[in-house]
Structure 1
Amino acid sequence: MSGGTQRILVVDDEVALAGVIASYLRREGFEVVLAHDGPSAIETAREADPVLVVLDLMLPGFDGVEVCRRLRTFSDAYVLMLTARGDELDKVVGLSVGADDYVVKPFGPRELVARIKAMLRRPRSASTPSGGSEEPVRRFGPLELDPVARTVTVDGKPIDLTRTEFDVLKALSARPRAALGRRQIIEAAWGPGWFGDEHVVDVHIRALRYKLGDDAGAPRFIRTVRGVGYGMVAG
C-alpha cells in the first residue's frame, strides 16, 4: 500500500451498493477493492491484504460467516459485517467467528465510513505494560485469563476467543468487583472513539458465555447486573 494508504475490501453481492460504499471510502482517501461472492472474497483478501473488510452476511457461493471463518485463518483484518436481518443469532454467529462489529441494513454510507474510521483508530494488538512489568494472570474459579499472552483457559483447556471477545472479558476481569455498563465496556474494549449500537456488547457477552460454557441463569463467570450491565462472578 503506497504512501500509507489503507486498503479496504468491500464484499457485497449487491453490486450497486458495493459501488456506493467504495466511492465514499475512496473520497476519504482509502484504497478499495471489491468482491461479490464468498469464494472471490477469500481470493481477493489473500491478494490484497486489506486492513479492514466490509462483509455482507448473505452472499452467493458461501455466506459471510464462512468468509469470516476462512479469513481468520490467514488475516487479522478488522471485519465489519453487514446484515439485513435483526436476528440476534445471526449477529452472535458472525461475531463468534471473528467479526469485530456489525451494521444492520439499511444504513447511511456516511455513518458506515465513520464507523470504519473509528474502528481503524482502535489498537490492533495489546500494548506492552509500561515499565516492562507483566500483568498477573487473572483467576475466576476454573477460568484463567493471561492479559500478556492474551490466552484464556477453563479447567486448563484453552478457549479460542476472537480479539474482541478477549478484550471484553479482559475489561470485565480488570475490575472484578465492579458492575460495568455497556459504555464502560465499549470504551475499554473498543476505545473511546467508537459509536454505534451499544447492544453489540450483549452480542459479544452471549458469544463469550457460549464459548466459556457459562449459563446466564446460573453464571459461573459473567453475571448480568440488571439496569447496569455486566460483571465477573467472584472466584
Structure 2
Amino acid sequence: MSTPSDELKTAVIIEDDTEIRHVLAEVLESSGFSTVSVGNGIDGVRAVLTYKPVLTTIDVNMPGIDGIEAAKRIRAQSDTFIIMLTGMNDEADVIAGLGAGADDYLLKPFRPRELRARVEALMRRARPGSDGAPAVAAPPSQGSVGPSFPGSRPTTTAVPTAPAVDDSDLEAPATVIVPAGAASVVLNGDADGEWLAHRDLRLHPENRIVLIGDDELDLTRTEFDLLATLLESKRRVRSKADLTLVLRGESYVTSYFVGDADKRAVEAHMTNLRRKLGESAANPRYIETVRGVGYRLTSEG
C-alpha cells in the first residue's frame, strides 16, 4: 500500500511512443518519482484519477483521444501538474494545450536536462489547497541527466484498466467576499493573509481565490500565478522573459535561457487569462500590453 508521501511523488506518463516513454520514465525516476506509463489518452485519464499523481506528461498526438482532450478531462477532475509534449512547433498547438489546462509544454525532441529543469520548477510551485507549500521538495540538483542513474530507483508501473474516480465529493475552499476596491492596492485581510486588488478585481494569494465583483473565476495554476505577479507589480512592466522565469520559480536567476517558444507560451496563457477576465488586448480593463516589452496593470484613469 502506498503512503501519502509516495502518492505525492508519483508521475503519470501518457505517451504512445515506446522509446520516448522509456526516456521520460528514466528522467522522472532519476528525479525521485515513481512512474505509471500508459500508451493512450483514455488509459491516461484513468491512471491520473486512480494514482493521483503530482505530475503528468501528455503527448499531443495519440490514438483514441488526443492529448488536448485528455488534458481537458484530467484538468476537470485533478490538480496534477501537466506538461504537454508535442512535435509540432505551432503556436495554435501551444495555445490549445495551455488552454486545456496544461502548466507547461516541451517540443520534441527535448533534452532530458531541460525536462528535469522544468519539472523541478513546477515542483517549487504551490498546489491548490497546499497552504502555499511546494508540491514536493525539489530533488537535489545534478549536473546532468544521462544514461547513468541511481542504483535504487522507483518502479515503473504499467497501469491496468481502472474505473474512474469520482472526486465530486471533495470539499471546495470557501469563497471569501471582500468589498470591491478601485485602486491597485493590498487590502487588509484576515489571519489567512491579504487581498490584492485592481478596480473590481481581487486576488487572495494564499487562498488562491480570484473575484471580479462577487463572481469567483476559475483560473488554472499558471493563470493565477501570472495574474498575482502583475497585481503585485502594479504599473511596473513585466517582460515575457521575466514572467517565464517567475513561472519557473527562477525569477532571480539570469542564466536560464528563455526562447521564443517560452514567450509564446506566456502569450497563450495571457490570451486565456484575458478571456476569463472578460477583456481583450485591444480594450483592456485590467491588463495592458506594452508593445515590444511585456504586460502591466492598466491605469486607474
TM-score (ref. length: structure 1): 0.86
Residues in 2 aligned to 1:207 and 1:69: alpha-carbon distance in whole angstroms = 14
- Of 96, 99, 111, which residue of structure 2 is paired with 1:108? 111
Query: 2:192 & 2:215 partners in 1: Cα distance?
Result: 26
Q: Which deviates further from its counterpart, 85-94 or 183-192?
A: 183-192
Please list, as runs of the form range in 1=range in 2, the aligned pairs for 1:60-209 lying within 5 A after superposition.
Answer: 60-125=63-128, 127=132, 132=191, 134-140=193-199, 142-154=200-212, 156-192=214-250, 197=259, 198-199=262-263, 200-209=265-274
1:14 matched to 2:79: no
CA distance in 2, matches of 1:155, 1:84: 41
Take 2:61 and 2:229, find their aligned partners in 1: how far apart are those partners? 32
Identity %: 36
Q: Which runs of 5+ in 1 are unaligned?
A: none
Query: Aligned-residue CA RMSD in angstroms?
Result: 2.8
Judging changes above 3 Å, is the alpha-carbon distance between structure 1 residues 24 and 186 closer, same or farther for their aligned structure 2 residues? Answer: closer
Which residue in 1 is equivalent to 2:297? 232
Is the 2:223–2:273 Cα contact (8 Å) retained in structure 1?
A: yes
Separation in 2 of the partners of 1:90 and 1:169?
Answer: 23
SS at structure 2 position matched to 1:161: coil
One-letter code of the match for 1:114? Answer: A
Q: Secondary structure at the match of 1:230?
A: strand
Contact 1:182-1:201 within 8 A present in 2 as well: yes
Local SS of the residue matching 1:203: helix
Between structure 1 and structure 2, the one with the greater Rg is 2
Specify the alignment match of 1:218 in structure 2: 283
Partner residue of 1:57 out of 55, 60, 63: 60
The letter for the 2-side match of 1:182 is K
Alignment of 1:19-58 (within 5 A): 19-58=22-61
- CA deviation after TM superposition for structure 1 residue 133, in Å: 6.0
Unaligned 5+ residue runs, structure 2? 134-187
1:10-54 deviation line (CA, Å, top 9, x unaligned)? 111112211122123223432111011111001111222211001
Give the aligned length.
Answer: 234
What is the TM-score normalised by the length of structure 2? 0.69
Residue 2 of structure 1 and its aligned partner are, at CA, apart by 5.5
